[in-house]
Amino acid sequence: MAKIDFGIGLRRLDSAAEDARAAEALGYEFVSTGEHVFFYGPIGNGLIQLAAAAGATSRIQLISTITLVPLYPAPLLAKMAATLDVVSKGRFHLGVGVGGEYAKEFEALGVPVRERGARTNEALEVINRLWREDDVRFDGRFTTLPGVTLDPKPVQKPGPPIWVSGRSDAAKRRCARYGQGWLPYMYTPQMLAASLEEIAGFRDTYEVAEPVRPGLFIFFAVHEDRDVAIKMATQRLSKQYNQDFSKLVHRYALAGNPDDCAARLQEYVDAGARTVILNSACPNGYMPDNERLFADAVLPRFRG
């Protein structure tokens, strides 16, 4: 059986350390969190929350899901990610995306939404060079480096793994060119399998020999009562994404009893997923039980 790594999202901004310790104790391989500057509801900064998680744990890997790359100056993001890798002793993975779901945050930060893809591509080039090289000179559309050296560099060499998130053709090409991992969201198993094939073709075009690490970001709600789980996931995702998820929850989330969730998860594994980052889609008060039931009743079925 292929090895499958599982991650779990931090529950709340004010309990990052406790959440990370709980995830480590439950046997998850990763702890994750997303970010926005402004959004539909309360949300923190991923790199800061993961720094808190790093200090509270010793083994679990840390992955940002995702860092909104175009909202950062590229050298600053390179520095923050390198520092987080150092303080975590080489446990950080940088998940990246272009954002755009909430246009007001781009306006507030003076970043045109239409430039988010170009800014992200250039930033990834800058970040990779700063992690690897000294006396870096770069004259780009958005970044100019006059001959600077990032010190300290990341513990991991040549740098923390970069996981590219998204759904578009541009995201797949970005992954093929700059990423070590592919972490799509709101994907079906069929979409995952097709995207991995496309990325493999793009990597040939960019002459990248190493295959991409196949991952998946997915929301979940598990409960012994199937209907309760489905209701929780539908309500949570409808509110979070400001749209009706009643007809989408079975397409894009794991929701049901442990058997239901395991069966659907197996479809993603069969499609190629080897790293699965889970995020609770349920009321805050049920999140500890949600994570624990998944760890106890679903994950053992995917351990070698």
3-state secondary structure (DSSP) of residue 8: strand
Cα gap 2→4, rounded to integer Å: 6
Superfamily, domain 181-298: Luciferase-like domain (3.20.20.30)
In the 8-state DSSP scheme, what is residue 88? T
Those residues whose C-beta lies under 8 Å from the C-beta of residue 75, and which sit 6 or more positions away, are: 126, 130, 143, 145, 148, 150
Backbone angles phi, psi at 183, to 5 degrees: -130, 70
The Cα angle at residue 56 between residues 51 and 57, in degrees rounded to 5: 100
Q: Establish whether domains 1-160 and 181-298 are of one fold.
A: yes
Prediction pTM value: 0.96
Would you write out the chain's pLDDT as a tens digit for each of its 304 residues?
Answer: 789 999 999 999 999 999 999 999 999 999 999 999 999 888 999 999 999 999 999 999 999 999 999 999 999 999 999 999 999 999 999 999 999 999 999 999 999 999 999 999 999 999 999 999 999 999 999 999 999 999 999 999 999 999 999 999 999 999 999 999 999 999 999 999 999 999 999 999 999 999 999 999 999 999 999 999 999 999 999 998 889 999 999 999 999 999 999 999 999 999 999 999 999 999 999 999 999 999 999 999 998 7
Cα gap 53→33, rounded to integer Å: 10
CATH says 1-160 is which class? alpha beta
Q: Where are the domains of the chain?
A: 1-160, 181-298
Cis peptide before 63 (omega within 30 of 0): no
